[in-house]
Amino acid sequence: MRNLQSVQCLRGIAALLVVFHHARNPQDWLYNPLEHFGLGQIGVDIFFVISGFIMYSVGRKEQPAEFLRRRVVRVVPMYWIATAVLFAVNVNTHFAKLLAIPVGHILESLLFIPHYSPDVPGIWPYLIPGWTLNYEMFFYGLFAVGIASRRPLLVTAICLFAFVAFGLVFESTLAPWRTYTDPVILEFLLGMLIAATLQRPSLFAAVGLLCVGVAALTTFEMLGLKSTRLLTWGLPCACMVAGLVALDIRNPIAKVPLLSAVGDASYSIYLFQVVALNVASKIFAHVPVTGLPQFILFIAFGLVVATAAGYIVYRYVEKPLLRRFSTHGTPRDPRSAKLPGETARAISPDR
């Protein structure tokens, strides 16, 4: 049984891309040449593709109830803890503003119900990075239906396409409708298709997919094409994921310890980046440096702080919690994945 280090590395890279995107958000004191550069958001698209890939590889042989139990155990406790930590930090720093936040906003966020945020324009939970978990939990539900039907790929694909089609035909301002009919949900299907079709990929196909993905992403960005996220970011990311995984299947990629550790901690890094970057910002705002050096140093500092904080949380909170909530003492390693044509070991992508 060998390791698909490509998936692990991709998780780490995706987490760092998202942290970078949030670190370069505009701030009054920060020189920011990349204020309008949003490419770091593709970390989310990579996560969605990997999620579909791993769920098909790992979960399709499980019973629906057991599949959902494992997903809830994996996702919910850490998300609730991260939300509570953010709430506690805001109580300490913005108490008066916090009193104006409706209780329903917090509850809907914790229950993965898409809704319009009362203080940030758009459909956002209280812990803003949690918006991706609304899509994840929706996908898990549809995939569980697919498992129950014993046709996980076909049934899940039909459900996903049906929701997107409904969204194109029937317009609505309801937050759940706008969320669950967004074409971005098809990125999960792209990941499932990769897992279902990659058996013995040729070197030409592997390199070709990787090059097409990189070229498409670069071209779309340079031309400023922003049709839909699925086309401009999702498909190129899926090609890159497929290409790297195919290369890894053919010739195992050597383990990169640091990036592998970041991949392990990617969910905690993703959840706690808001608090970590807030702390980094307060510290760095007093550093006597300006211009481009200020921007470069702050981005590096923010990445280090968020990654270190996320890894500490992973090591001392996330891992013990997974053991604690497992009904079997030691939780089944979510990294075990049997791919078509071979046995492999991949890393669970849950963020």
Average pLDDT over residues 308-321: 96
**351 located within any domain:** no
If pLDDT is split at 50, 70 and 90, which confidence band does 324 have? Answer: confident
Please tell me the predicted confidence (pLDDT) of residue 344: 37
Q: How many helices (H) and strands (E) in the chain?
A: 16, 3
- The tally of domains found in the chain comes to 1
User: Mean pLDDT in the chain?
Assistant: 89
Q: How far is CA 295 from CA 90, 300, 312, in A?
A: 26, 9, 26
Identify any residues that bridge with 116 across adjacent strands, giving them in sequence order.
123
Q: Alpha-carbon distance 345 to 192, whole Å?
A: 16
If pLDDT is split at 50, 70 and 90, which confidence band does 252 have? Answer: confident
Amino acid residing at 139: F
**279 located within any domain:** yes
Consecutive H or E run containing 36: none
Q: Alpha-carbon distance 138 to 180, whole Å?
A: 8
Tokens in use for 274?
């808001």
Q: Alpha-carbon distance 74 to 191, whole Å?
A: 19
Q: How far is CA 123 from CA 205, 312, 323, in A?
A: 39, 30, 33
**143 located within any domain:** yes
The length of the chain, given as a count of residues:
351
Amino acid residing at 76: V
Q: Alpha-carbon distance 343 to 194, whole Å?
A: 15
Q: Could you give the 3-state DSSP secondary structure of residue 2?
A: strand
Using a 10 angstrom Cβ sphere, with 0-12 exposed, 13-18 middle and 19 or more buried, the burial of residue 158 is: middle
**210 located within any domain:** yes
For the segment 5-52, what is each residue's pLDDT rounded down to a tens digit? Answer: 899 999 999 999 999 999 999 899 999 999 889 899 999 999 999 999
**93 located within any domain:** yes
**330 located within any domain:** yes
Parallel/antiparallel/unpaired status of strands 336-339 and 2-3: unpaired
pTM (two decimals) = 0.91
Share of the chain above pLDDT 70, in %: 90
Q: Alpha-carbon distance 230 to 237, whole Å?
A: 9
Q: Alpha-carbon distance 298 to 307, whole Å?
A: 14
Amino acid residing at 166: F
For the segment 84-142, what is each residue's pLDDT rounded down to a tens digit? Answer: 999 988 887 766 566 678 889 999 999 999 999 998 899 999 999 999 999 999 999 99
**96 located within any domain:** yes
Please tell me the predicted confidence (pLDDT) of residue 70: 94
**350 located within any domain:** no
Whether the per-residue pLDDT at 342 is higher than 50: the answer is: no
Amino acid residing at 302: G
Tokens in use for 119?
């203080």
Give me the domain span that covers residue 211. Answer: 2-345
Whether the per-residue pLDDT at 308 is higher than 60: the answer is: yes
What is the end-to-end Cα distance of the chain in Å, rounded? 25
If pLDDT is split at 50, 70 and 90, which confidence band does 343 have? Answer: very low
Identify any residues that bridge with 2 across adjacent strands, giving them in sequence order.
344
Task: Report CA Rg, the chain.
Answer: 20
Decide if 40 contacts 21 (C-beta within 8 A): yes
